[in-house]
A and B are shown apart, each in its own frame.
Chain A
Amino acid sequence: GESVGLHLPTLSVQEGDNSIINCAYSNSASDYFIWYKQESGKGPQFIIDIRSNMDKRQGQRVTVLLNKTVKHLSLQIAATQPGDSAVYFCAEVGGSNYKLTFGKGTLLTVNP
């Protein structure tokens, strides 16, 4: 069945380092992917998205990479800051069913 999962449930980095959060998906029909950031006690906040006709998209300090061959998605955060500490979720939208399927999340901790 459909599933969205993460390779690393926790990630700890030093302030100023670059962070990479990975996500695997299993539905080859998925054509749209989203990364969300969730801080404690708050709702998920949209970070960046990418469609399946692209393999890279950049935002402010963030880059999403999509490898459809191995069904892998990653979020890169440049010069990670303490304010980046949060749980990061990837989500996919699969084919003609516009349902959004979420992974379990990765906890990113940034050490000062």
Chain B
Amino acid sequence: DGGITQSPKYLFRKEGQNVTLSCEQNLNHDAMYWYRQDPGQGLRLIYYSQIVNDFQKGDIAEGYSVSREKKESFPLTVTSAQKNPTAFYLCASSQTYNNQPQHFGDGTRLSIL
């Protein structure tokens, strides 16, 4: 089945540590996105990529980094500069950036040890 796979489901980070969240899609979509969701809140955009080898900052990019070396993959690194990383992270994709809707993976829950 086509879809978006996020791994791991749960992730723990120690203080001062960088961690990388994986997102893979086999939908042949050009655009991919990373969102952060806090309890009782809507989704906030971290980074997005319209096409391979391109990405732009979203609303809350500080403390995060991404790469888009392959069409199907858009990993997110949560760096030690992100002071409040505990959240539910969601990856999404759409056929193109201006062709919605976005389809989501099942998320990675990141917690601080």
B42 engages A98 (CB within 8 Å): no
A34 engages B40 (CB within 8 Å): no
A89 engages B103 (CB within 8 Å): no
The number of residue pairs between A and B whose CB atoms lie closer than 8 Å in the complex comes to: 49
**What is the CA–CA distance of A34 and B42 in the complex, to the nearest angstrom?**
14
B90 engages A43 (CB within 8 Å): yes
New A-B pairs, 20, CB < 8 Å, besides A34-B101, A41-B106, A45-B104: A4-B42, A34-B100, A41-B107, A42-B107, A43-B6, A43-B105, A44-B90, A44-B104, A46-B101, A46-B103, A49-B101, A89-B42, A89-B43, A93-B100, A98-B98, A98-B100, A99-B58, A102-B42, A102-B43, A104-B42
Chain A residues close to B by CB (< 8 Å): 4, 32, 34, 36, 41-46, 49, 89, 93, 98-100, 102-105
Pairs across A and B, CB under 8 Å, 17 listed: A4-B42, A43-B90, A43-B104, A44-B43, A44-B104, A45-B104, A46-B102, A46-B103, A49-B100, A49-B101, A89-B43, A98-B98, A100-B45, A100-B100, A104-B40, A104-B41, A105-B41
